[in-house]
Amino acid sequence: MSDIKGPSPDAKIDGAPLRIAIVHARWNKVIIDALVAGALKKLKEAGVKESNIVVESVPGSFELPLACSRMIGGSHIQVASNEVDLLGGISFGTTKVPSRTGTPAPTIPSANQAFDAVIAIGVLIKGATMHFEYICDAVSHSLMKIQVDTGVPVIFGVLTALNDNQALERAGLGQGEQKGHNHGEDWGLAAVEMGSHVRRWNSGKFL
């Protein structure tokens, strides 16, 4: 990576208190796998506990915004179900929602905290039609809207490449001199930094 491009490496932030989700598309899987591995590596190096990392997948990048939105929403429901069950009692571990109909009650796995950040990872490679332009535009705007609307950082881990080589190089999978840098690592660090900042800002603390 050049010295000019990319984030400066001076933000060293403790990820130990954070809970982070990764949601990735499955199109262009070899590249996706490298990016997800890069993000996971940096999350763990920053101290995020393995038990506080959730990884989900969706078919393609177009599905990423809905997945982020519902995972953020669902993680708040998990926390609520951990605090008080629907009968008003304190619950521990897994909450069983009471059933009045005889239909088996849904089970909500509980969690102590909502996601502090979500990393959305996809690889869009331009083809012969306008499909690429539409998806890039829709996905980038939607992911931005979700983070602003929910207040939960959504890290933009979507490569929008004009050809295979551009995508490979941005996952550190290029050939020889063009090996490139794995941007998944940057996304892991960005999630830790933004998750930590937002926690602090939400409690009214500023540097």
Q: Does 108 bind ligand RBF (CB under 6 A)?
A: no
Is 131 known to be catalytic? Answer: yes
Is there a contact between 46 and 15 (Cβ–Cβ < 8 Å)?
A: yes
Q: Does 27 bind ligand RBF (CB under 6 A)?
A: yes
Of 24, 131, 181, 183, the catalytic one is 131
Q: What is the CA radius of gyration of the chain?
A: 19
Integer Cα distance of 159 and 180 in angstroms = 13
Choice between 28 and 147, CB closer to ligand RBF: 28
Q: Does 33 bind ligand RBF (CB under 6 A)?
A: no
Q: Does 59 bind ligand RBF (CB under 6 A)?
A: yes
Q: Does 122 bind ligand RBF (CB under 6 A)?
A: yes
Choice between 56 and 83, CB closer to ligand RBF: 56
Is there a contact between 25 and 59 (Cβ–Cβ < 8 Å)?
A: yes
Element (H, E) at 42: helix 29-45
Of the chain, the end-to-end C-alpha distance in Å amounts to 30
Among 39, 40, 48, 62, binds ligand RBF (CB under 6 A): 62
Integer Cα distance of 142 and 126 in angstroms = 19
Integer Cα distance of 178 and 166 in angstroms = 9
Closest contact distance (angstroms) between CB of 54 and ligand RBF is 20
The residue of the chain with the least Cβ separation from ligand RBF equals 60
Which one of the spans 42-50, 79-87, 123-131, 145-153 is the region binding ligand RBF (CB under 6 A)? 123-131
Q: Where are the alpha helices (DSSP H) in 84-118?
A: none
For binding to ligand RBF (CB under 6 A), which residues are involved?
25, 27-28, 59-63, 122-125, 127, 131, 135
Q: Catalytic amino acids?
A: 131
